[in-house]
Amino acid sequence: MTSNLYSDLPASVADEVIDVLAESSQVRIERIVSMGQSSPKGFWYDQEQAEWVVVLKGEAKVLFEGDEEPQHLRAGDHLNIPARRRHRVEWTSPREQTIWLAVFYSPL
């Protein structure tokens, strides 16, 4: 059965929308749709799994703890976040949907 990452997008995005596309005990793949959302003030993701993320559409800024400036991601940009590397979403575009593809996996 085929699906399209750009189909069934929410009409409005008051809250970030996360769809799990596939998962096993070792990996989880999510499509995330954001529009103007960011991590709550003072909140840091601190995950046991590593995460590879790509922005398919839109823009976002991700800040790693200890860095002065966030990394600005645009369509096609991707990054690998090691397990336990504290990070937060500083900003997503309020003008258009930002579509992310996130792959969470157990580090070797």
Q: Per-residue pLDDT tens for 33-56?
A: 999 999 999 999 999 999 999 999
Which pLDDT does position 107 carry in this prediction? 80
How many structural domains comprise the chain? Answer: 1
**CATH number of the domain bearing residue 87:** 2.60.120.10
Q: Is the pLDDT of residue 14 over 90?
A: no
CB-based contacts of 69, cutoff 8 Å, min separation 6: 63
Q: Per-residue pLDDT tens for 78-105?
A: 999 999 999 999 999 999 999 999 999 9
Q: Which domain holds residue 44?
A: 17-105
In a domain? residue 8? no
